[in-house]
């Protein structure tokens, strides 16, 4: 942030005088550490919904990632895991949530979806989020969904294979079209 401020000081002076220049990184760090993460998240999500008009029939990709380098070995705190919703055509993150410690994406995805305007869009989620509650939440918000299905969801996985009359194969544990297998030779 300090580097950004130094590079754009003239532009920033349109909004505040910065008589003593840009604050040093320690001052910026103290200020940022006092921001309530939940309030920031809610404000960010509201701001994104107001500034970014979703393209019609947008694909909204929901996925979780562990933040690299976030594990703290000194106090043995778990790595930070975030769930994000990415608007593919607009190329922006619409919102994101940090999962609770000792939790996973399944609990964070419904909370994130509740914050977003989804009506008329397609929400994609990997196999971790292939849950009835999540699907019902998406439908209730007037959106469609596309979930990945893996072998660990045996009944659903087998029903999909039967619906396609054996035209699908397991490679490894993921449903894949036979066409792709034939194209590889």
Q: What is the pLDDT of residue 37?
A: 81
Q: Which two structure tokens, joined as six digits, stand for 181?
A: 């297998």
**What's the average pLDDT block by block, 10 residues per block, for the chain (185 residues)?**
90 93 91 86 75 73 81 69 87 82 78 89 89 92 89 81 65 42 44
Tell me the CA distances in angstroms from 11 to 2, 5, 7, 15, one per residue in order: 14, 9, 9, 8
pLDDT of residue 172: 42
Model pLDDT, residue 66? 78
* Residue 70, pLDDT score: 64
Residue 119's closest CA among 95, 98, 138?
138
Domains and CATH numbers, the chain: 54-184 (3.30.420)
Check residue 102 and give its pLDDT: 54
Q: Is 2 exposed, middle or buried (0-12, 13-18, 19+ CB in 10 A)?
A: middle
Mark out the alpha helices in 52-172 (DSSP H runs): 105-115, 132-140, 154-163
The model scores a pTM over 0.75: no
């Amino acid at each position: 942030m300090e580097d950004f401020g130094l590079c754009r000081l003239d532009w920033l002076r349109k909004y505040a005088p910065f008589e003593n220049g840009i604050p040093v990184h320690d001052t910026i760090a103290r200020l940022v550490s006092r921001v309530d993460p939940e309030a920031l998240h809610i404000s960010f999500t509201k701001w994104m919904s107001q500034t970014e008009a979703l393209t019609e029939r947008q694909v909204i990709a929901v996925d979780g990632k562990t933040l690299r380098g976030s594990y703290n070995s000194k106090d043995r705190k778990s790595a930070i895991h975030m769930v994000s919703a990415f608007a593919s055509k607009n190329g922006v993150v619409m919102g994101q949530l940090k999962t609770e410690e000792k939790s996973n994406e399944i609990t964070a995805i419904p909370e994130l979806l509740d914050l977003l305007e989804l009506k008329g869009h397609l929400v994609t989620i990997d196999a971790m989020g292939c849950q009835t509650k999540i699907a019902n939440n998406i439908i209730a918000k007037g959106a469609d969904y596309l979930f990945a299905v893996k072998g660990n969801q045996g009944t659903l996985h087998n029903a999909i294979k039967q619906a396609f009359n054996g035209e699908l194969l397991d490679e490894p544990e993921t449903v894949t079209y036979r066409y792709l297998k034939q194209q590889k030779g």
